C-alpha cells in the first residue's frame, strides 16, 4: 500500500465552449519518504493534480473520474469538512510565491501556533515550543527571536522556509510542493531544495514536487512523472528518465534545457511542441529592407560605452533632505560593448542589471555618469527630439510577454507604430508591407497582423515583441530577461531566433539574464553584477572556465549540475 494512490484521475473544466480536460486518466503513487517530481511545461496540468488531491480545484473545475487514496483510505469522496481536516493535518502544501503565502499582518508565531492548535491538541506554550522547533528544523537562525517577527522582516528564501515550517506543523504524511523555488534566486533555491530533501528523508514524508524546471527535478526527485497536455508521457526513476528517456517528448524536453558546461552553436530544437517556423532561407536579409541602408558610420570599435553610471532612487520621500532614504540601484558601473558583439549582464534579482538597461534606453535618467553611443553622449541630450535618432537605433525586448504588448491594439498597429513614428516608410502600403515581412522574419506569418495580442501564446507574443523592436532597424538590441517567462522549449526557439537575427543583421546586443546556462550559450562577453556594482567582466568562455571574482565562483557553483540525456544535441 502506497502513501498516496491516484487511479485514473480525470479533471475537467467546463466552459462555454465545451469541456477542457486538464488531466486525462492519471495514475500515480507516492511512497513514504519519497519525492515524486511532476514535470511539464505550462498547461500540462501539473498544478491541477496537486489541487485535485487536496480538493482545492478552482470552480468550475471538478474531478469527473478516478479515485484518490491516502494510506488506503479514499479521500476524493469525502465532504468539505472532512477534506478540510485532511488538509494541513495529513497533507501539507507549499506554494510558489513566498511573498503571498504568508499573512503580512500576523506574526510568524501567530500563524504557526494557530495552525498547530487547529490540527493538534496542544496548549499555547507547547504549540509555541513546537513552532520554535519547526523553525529550527527548517534552518532559521535564532528561531525563538525571529518567531515574533512579521513576514516582511524575512527575506524571500527565509519566508519560503517559514512556509515549509507551516506545511510541517501537523506532521503531515504527504507534502505537495507547487513550484516551491521558482520565485527564488539560484543561491536560495539550492538551499531550499536541500532542506526539502532532508526533511522528507528524516521524517519519512512523501512529497509531490511540481515544477517546470528539469534541473530542480534532477537534483531532488527520486522518481519523475513527465506530463504533457494533461497526459502522463512517462514515469520512472530520475536517473532513468534523465539518462535514457523513452518518450520523444521527454527527450526533446531534456535536450532543450540550455547546457551549462559547454557552448553550442545553436539550441537543440524541440519538434514536439509549439509549431513555429524557424527563420527560413526564403529571406535574404542582407538585401531586404531590414538589412539595408543602415547609414551607420564608424563601424568597429565600441558601440556603447558606459562610464561610472550611477542611479539612485528615493525610497522614502520627505520634505527634509536628511529624512529621505535612498537606494543606490546602480553604483559606479562602467563597461564597453563592441560593435557586433553580444554582451551579457548576469546577476541575481535586485542586482541592478535591468536598471542599467533602462538607463541606456532613456527610461530612467541616470543620476551620474555618461553613456556614449556611437560616439555621442546620450546623457547630454536634453530634448526628446535630439534623442530621437539615437532612440531609433536602440530597441528593447522585455521580460513579460503578457504586459509588453498593448492589448487594445492589433499586432499590425503595434509593429507599425515605430515605423510611422520615425517616418521610416514612404507610404502606408510600404509600412504594412514591412510589418508583414517582419512577421515572416520572426516566424509568425503575415496573417498575424490582423489579430490582437491575446490570441497568441507567450512565445508568440515574444516574437511580436522582437518584430516591434526590429521595426526601427536598430543596430543595438537590449534584451531584458527575454525568455525567463517562457517554457524551455519555447525559450530554445526564441533564443535561436535572436541568435540568427543578431548574426544576419549584424546587431549588437546587451543580453540580461539571471540564467547562467543561457548566458553561456548566447553571449560573447559577460559582466557579473551584484548589489548595483559590476564585479567582473570577461569573455564568456573564460568566465565560465576560470572565474576570477569570488561571487562569480559562488554563482557558478550553484548552477544546477544538470547532465542528462544529450542525444538530440547538434
Partner 1 sequence: MAETEATPPTSSSPGWLARALDSDIWYSFCRSPLTIASAVLTLLFFLGAAFAPLIAPFNPFDLASIDIMDASLPPFWQDGGDGRFWLGTDDQGRDMWSTIIFGARVSLFVGFASVIFSIIMGVGLGLISGYVGGRLDALIMRIADIQLSFPAILIALLIDGVARSVLPRAMHEELAFYVLIFAIGISGWVQYARTVRGSTLVEKNKEYVQAARVIGIGPTVILLRHILPNVMGPVLVIATIHLAIAIITEATLSFLGVGVPPTTPSLGTLIRVGNDFLFSGEWWITIFPGIALVLLVLAINLLGDWLRDALNPKLR
- Footprint of partner 1 on this chain (CB under 8 A)? 16, 358, 361-363, 384, 387-388, 391-392, 394-396, 398-400, 403-409, 417-418, 421-422, 428-429, 432-433, 436, 440, 445-447, 449-451, 465, 468, 472
Nearer to partner 1, 177 or 359 (CB): 359
Helix (H) or strand (E) holding 356: helix 353-360
Least Cβ distance, residue 473 to partner 1 (angstroms): 12
Find, among 265, 267, 304, the residue nearest to 510 by Cα.
304
C-beta of residue 25 within 8 angstroms of C-beta of residue 232: no
Least Cβ distance, residue 278 to partner 1 (angstroms): 16
Find, among 2, 488, 39, the residue nearest to 224 by Cα.
39
Nearer to partner 1, 265 or 454 (CB): 454
Least Cβ distance, residue 534 to partner 1 (angstroms): 23
Q: How far is 526 from 515, CA to CA, in rounded Å?
A: 12
Nearer to partner 1, 15 or 246 (CB): 15
Cell of 207: 512529497
Q: How far is 282 from 504, CA to CA, in rounded Å?
A: 13
Least Cβ distance, residue 471 to partner 1 (angstroms): 9
Going across the sheet that includes 91-94, the strands are 91-94, 174-178, 206-211, 35-39, 223-228, 231-237
Nearer to partner 1, 130 or 391 (CB): 391
Nearer to partner 1, 351 or 395 (CB): 395
Distances in whole angstroms, Cα of residue 291 to Cα of each of 159, 444, 467, 499: 50, 19, 14, 15
Least Cβ distance, residue 405 to partner 1 (angstroms): 6
Residues 6+ apart with CB under 8 A from 383: none
Nearer to partner 1, 399 or 493 (CB): 399
Nearer to partner 1, 196 or 356 (CB): 356
Nearer to partner 1, 133 or 386 (CB): 386
Least Cβ distance, residue 402 to partner 1 (angstroms): 9
Q: What is the DSSP pairing of strand 342-346 with strand 508-513?
A: parallel
Least Cβ distance, residue 308 to partner 1 (angstroms): 23
Least Cβ distance, residue 355 to partner 1 (angstroms): 12
Least Cβ distance, residue 452 to partner 1 (angstroms): 8
Cell of 398: 522585455
Find, among 542, 398, 570, the residue nearest to 478 by Cα.
398
Nearer to partner 1, 394 or 497 (CB): 394
For 313, phi then psi, to 5°, come to: -105, 145
Strand runs labelled E in 162-203: 174-178
Find, among 54, 68, 59, the residue nearest to 9 by Cα.
68
For 139, phi then psi, to 5°, come to: 80, 35
Amino acid at each position: 500500500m502506497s502513501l498516496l494512490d491516484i487511479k485514473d484521475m480525470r479533471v475537467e473544466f467546463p466552459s462555454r465552449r465545451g469541456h477542457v480536460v486538464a488531466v486525462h486518466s492519471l495514475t500515480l503513487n507516492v511512497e513514504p519518504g519519497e519525492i515524486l517530481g511532476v514535470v511539464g511545461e505550462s498547461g500540462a496540468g501539473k498544478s491541477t493534480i496537486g489541487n485535485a488531491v487536496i480538493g482545492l480545484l478552482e470552480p468550475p473545475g471538478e474531478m469527473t473520474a478516478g479515485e484518490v487514496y491516502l494510506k488506503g483510505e479514499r479521500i476524493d469522496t469525502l465532504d468539505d469538512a472532512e477534506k478540510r481536516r485532511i488538509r494541513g493535518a495529513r497533507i501539507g502544501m507549499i506554494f510558489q510565491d513566498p511573498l503571498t503565502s504568508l499573512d503580512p499582518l500576523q506574526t510568524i508565531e501567530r500563524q504557526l501556533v494557530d495552525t498547530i492548535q487547529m490540527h493538534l491538541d496542544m496548549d499555547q506554550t507547547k504549540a509555541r515550543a513546537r513552532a520554535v522547533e519547526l523553525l529550527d528544523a527548517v534552518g532559521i537562525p535564532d528561531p525563538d527571536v525571529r518567531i515574533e517577527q512579521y513576514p516582511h522582516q524575512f527575506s524571500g528564501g527565509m519566508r519560503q522556509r517559514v512556509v515549509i515550517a507551516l506545511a510541517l506543523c501537523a506532521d503531515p504524511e504527504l507534502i505537495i510542493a507547487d513550484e516551491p523555488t521558482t520565485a527564488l534566486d539560484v543561491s536560495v533555491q539550492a538551499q531550499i531544495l536541500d532542506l526539502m530533501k532532508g526533511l522528507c528523508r528524516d521524517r519519512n514524508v512523501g512529497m509531490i514536487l511540481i515544477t517546470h524546471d528539469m534541473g530542480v527535478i534532477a537534483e531532488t526527485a527520486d522518481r519523475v512523472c513527465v506530463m504533457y497536455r494533461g497526459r502522463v508521457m512517462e514515469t520512472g526513476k530520475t536517473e532513468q528518465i534523465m539518462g535514457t528517456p523513452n518518450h520523444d517528448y521527454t527527450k526533446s524536453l531534456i535536450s532543450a534545457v540550455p547546457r551549462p558546461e559547454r557552448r553550442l552553436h545553436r539550441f537543440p530544437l524541440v519538434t514536439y511542441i509549439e509549431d513555429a517556423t524557424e527563420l527560413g532561407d526564403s529571406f535574404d536579409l542582407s538585401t531586404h529592407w531590414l538589412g539595408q541602408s543602415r547609414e551607420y558610420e564608424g563601424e568597429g570599435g565600441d558601440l556603447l560605452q558606459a562610464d561610472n553610471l550611477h542611479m539612485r532612487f528615493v525610497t522614502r520621500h520627505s520634505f527634509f533632505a536628511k529624512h529621505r532614504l535612498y537606494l543606490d540601484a546602480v553604483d559606479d558601473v562602467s563597461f564597453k560593448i563592441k560593435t557586433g558583439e553580444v554582451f551579457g549582464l548576469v546577476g541575481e534579482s535586485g542586482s541592478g542589471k535591468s536598471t542599467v538597461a533602462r538607463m541606456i534606453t532613456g527610461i530612467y535618467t541616470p543620476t551620474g555618469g555618461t553613456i556614449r553611443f556611437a560616439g555621442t553622449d546620450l546623457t547630454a541630450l536634453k530634448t526628446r527630439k535630439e534623442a530621437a535618432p539615437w532612440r531609433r537605433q536602440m530597441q528593447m525586448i522585455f521580460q513579460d510577454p503578457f504586459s509588453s504588448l498593448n492589448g487594445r491594439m492589433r499586432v499590425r498597429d503595434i509593429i507599425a507604430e515605430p515605423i510611422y513614428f520615425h517616418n521610416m516608410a514612404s507610404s502606408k502600403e510600404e509600412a504594412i508591407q514591412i510589418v508583414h515581412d517582419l512577421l515572416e522574419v520572426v516566424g509568425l506569418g503575415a496573417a498575424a497582423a490582423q489579430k490582437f495580442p491575446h490570441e497568441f501564446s507567450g512565445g508568440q507574443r515574444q516574437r511580436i515583441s522582437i518584430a516591434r523592436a526590429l521595426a526601427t532597424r536598430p543596430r543595438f538590441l537590449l534584451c531584458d530577461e527575454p525568455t525567463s517567462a517562457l517554457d524551455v522549449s519555447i525559450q530554445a526557439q526564441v533564443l535561436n531566433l535572436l541568435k540568427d537575427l543578431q548574426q544576419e543583421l549584424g546587431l549588437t546586443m546587451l543580453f540580461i539574464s539571471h540564467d547562467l546556462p543561457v548566458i553561456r550559450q548566447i553571449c560573447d562577453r559577460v559582466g557579473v553584477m551584484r548589489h548595483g556594482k559590476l564585479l567582473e567582466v570577461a569573455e564568456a568562455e573564460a568566465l565560465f572556465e576560470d572565474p576570477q571574482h569570488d561571487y562569480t565562483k559562488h554563482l557558478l557553483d550553484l548552477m544546477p549540475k544538470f547532465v542528462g540525456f544529450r542525444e538530440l544535441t547538434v
